Structure 1
Amino acid sequence: MEFLSFDVKNRTLALRKAEIPTPGPNEVRIRIAYAGVCGTDLHILEGSFPCKKEGFLTLGHEFAGTVDAVGSTVKNFKLGQKVAVDPNSACDKCTFCHEGSYQHCSSGGINNTIGIFRDGGFSTHAVVPESQVHLVPDDVDLQQAALVEPLSCLAHGWKRLNGVNVGSNVLVIGAGIIGLLWACMLHLHGLRKSVTISEPQEKRRKLVNNLDLDFLAESPERLKQTFDVVIDCSGSAAAVQAAIPLLGPGGRLCVFGVANPSAKFSIEPYEIYKKELTILGVNINPFSFPRGLGLLHAMADRYLNYDKLGIKVFSLSQYREALDSLKKGEISKAVFKL
């Protein structure tokens, strides 16, 4: 098999080959079709996000493909089925896991993610536990199915927000892939002219118009009105700080983007008191993958067009070009076609 090997100590990537692994009794081997590059992958490569501490790692926690082999005790999957992988799992032992909040688990959740702490999808093949494999609807393309992991995180965010009422004034910060997917989900749920996407790069503001959502794409310095809901998809502490004064009374701030762990911003507690603001975070996708698949099915034909979303497909051998294009903001997302 062919895969991208990340040297954790030296933070370097190399394209390598190895024997195709054999699945264990409760594992499924997947012939990967598409694997998405997440902003978190960029943070890991630059050393600003925690991952496996030693040795080598195959990154990639957003991937879909077909079942290539199954272990002796696997009963729910057959060869050739289209599947996607939930990279996160619970330890099933701690209080958080038993309460359905494995995103806070000290040994599961984000601390044991496939593609961050275990070998992931930047490879032609991956072996994963059966419990983390999900069938993809027959009428959904595998290229679109590569987006189900971020969609499952959006599903968790939607639940944390307890939904957004039609007619609410909403600000989405950032027109990268996550901001664009949030815009699409808001449109799917019936919001129309009351949504604004804040983005400093003109080329990314144009992507919003390409999606034909009838939403306003605006540069941050031109934002004047107040909003009922602000969803940060930028991971920028400065952007979050600038958005707080834009919240109206009873406003809600959803911190969805992953910031550098050392980033800080200041806030006036009086504003929280006076306006009765709510500030909430969204951490991965606990038990949200089935809802992510539901969003995938509902959004596929209307919203998940790669060209309109600014997604570009690369081969594994083009990994340098893919990462460089993503870092420069020339594309909203890079996806490897295996």
Structure 2
Amino acid sequence: MEALRYTAKDKKLELTKVEVPKITNPDGILVKVAYAGICGTDLHIIQGEFPCNAERTFTLGHEFSGTVVEVGANIKTFKAGDRVSVDPNSGCKCCHFCHSGRPHFCKIGGINNTIGIYRDGGWANYVVCPEDQVHKLPDTITLEQAALTEPLSCLAHGWDIVSPIHVGNKILVTGAGIIGNLWVCALHLQGHRNVTVSEPNTARLDMLKKLNTGYKLITPNQLKEKQTADPNYLFDVIIDCSGFPPAIEHAISLLNSGGKLCIFGVAPPHGRISVAPFDIYMKEMKIFGVNINPFSFPKSLGLLEAMGDRYLNYGNLGIKTFALNQYQEAIEHLKKGTIAKAIFKL
């Protein structure tokens, strides 16, 4: 089979031919991959800016959907032919964090055990996954839509953290990559209309118009101009999807008293922001981090069903599909910002 594999030591990404993986654990499931997304985290990994498996060459890809081909001896809940999406994240199920319902903080599992970051992932024709990380798709969700289950599960976790978000709140979303666009979809689905989206790439802003939300779409420079012209140009809720420290720092200055900032985008580990503790005190600011998706996959599947083609049409979201052998082209498109997201169609 084909697999897009990465060697951290050399920062080398290469399309290779490898054997179809075999089920060696009775609780394993062999999945034939249909769609596999390229995440911003993947780009950070490829550039050597995000922790991953440094011990061996492995297959990237932690966002994917597919069809069950074979199941291990212990499997009772899945069968060949089932359409599925896979949660790449898991904990050790034994530590304090796992037992307290926070497996994303697990030091043994957590990021250190993620499919597509430490274990072989979905940028391949086939992948073996543990049963407890595989989720059966309702008939109403297509495999194409299901490729977005993992990012939407992270969004669902972020929504829980930053809630309540009251209808009528003045909301700013910074960054119109795929995560920003999915937040736009979720906010519109939930009835929010007083929303502004800030994005420096005007091509991405133009793409966002296809979602027909009626939201205000502006550049960061226009955002600064409005702030300069009106000191009361402030927001009740700001969701940063850029992971860009200067954008996050600017967002803090735009928070209204009692406002909430959700830092959703993944910044590089060396990134830094500056914030005055007095402002946190005076405004009673609330700043939330969001780390992946503990137990939020079922909520994500609910969002997928509710959103449907109205919101999840690839063309409207700025998503382009590529073959595995077009990976260099896909990465270049993402870096240039000519698309919101690249997804491998296998």
For the criterion TM > 0.5, the same-fold answer is yes
Contact map agreement 2:200 2:220 (CA 8 A) in 1: yes
**Structure 2, unpaired ranges of 5+:** 228-232
Contact map agreement 2:208 2:318 (CA 8 A) in 1: no
Taking the aligned partners of 1:21 and 1:15, their CA distance within structure 2 comes to 16
CA shift digits 1:193-225 (9 cap, x unpaired): x10000011101112211101111111122232
Contact map agreement 2:7 2:54 (CA 8 A) in 1: no
Taking the aligned partners of 1:163 and 1:199, their CA distance within structure 2 comes to 25
* 1:331 alignment counterpart: 339
4+ residue runs over 6 A deviation: none
Taking the aligned partners of 2:289 and 2:259, their CA distance within structure 1 comes to 14
* 1:73 alignment counterpart: 74
Q: Percent identity?
A: 56
Contact map agreement 1:208 1:215 (CA 8 A) in 2: no
Q: Does 1:311 align with 2:319?
A: yes
* 2:292 alignment counterpart: 284
Contact map agreement 2:319 2:341 (CA 8 A) in 1: yes
Once structures 1 and 2 are overlaid, which stretch shifts more, 292-301 or 45-54?
A: 292-301
Q: Does 1:60 align with 2:68?
A: no
Mapping for residues 76-91 of structure 1, pairs under 5 Å = 76-91=77-92
SS of the equivalent of 2:157 reads: helix
TM-score normalised by structure 2 residue count: 0.96
How many residue pairs are counted as aligned between the two chains? 337
Taking the aligned partners of 2:103 and 2:301, their CA distance within structure 1 comes to 19
RMSD (Å) for aligned C-alpha atoms: 0.8
Contact map agreement 1:66 1:83 (CA 8 A) in 2: yes
Q: CA deviation at 1:17?
A: 1.3
Taking the aligned partners of 2:108 and 2:313, their CA distance within structure 1 comes to 36
1:302 to 304, 310, 334: 310
* 1:271 alignment counterpart: 279
Taking the aligned partners of 1:171 and 1:57, their CA distance within structure 2 comes to 38
Contact map agreement 2:5 2:59 (CA 8 A) in 1: yes
2:254 to 210, 224, 246: 246
SS of the equivalent of 2:204 reads: helix
TM-score normalised by structure 1 residue count: 0.98
Q: CA deviation at 1:99?
A: 1.0
SS of the equivalent of 1:47 reads: coil
Residue identity matched to 2:301: L
Residue identity matched to 1:100: G
Residue identity matched to 2:123: F
Residue identity matched to 1:117: Y
Q: CA deviation at 1:111?
A: 2.2
Residue identity matched to 1:206: D
Contact map agreement 1:110 1:284 (CA 8 A) in 2: no
Q: Does 1:164 align with 2:172?
A: no
SS of the equivalent of 1:167 reads: coil
Taking the aligned partners of 1:116 and 1:236, their CA distance within structure 2 comes to 22
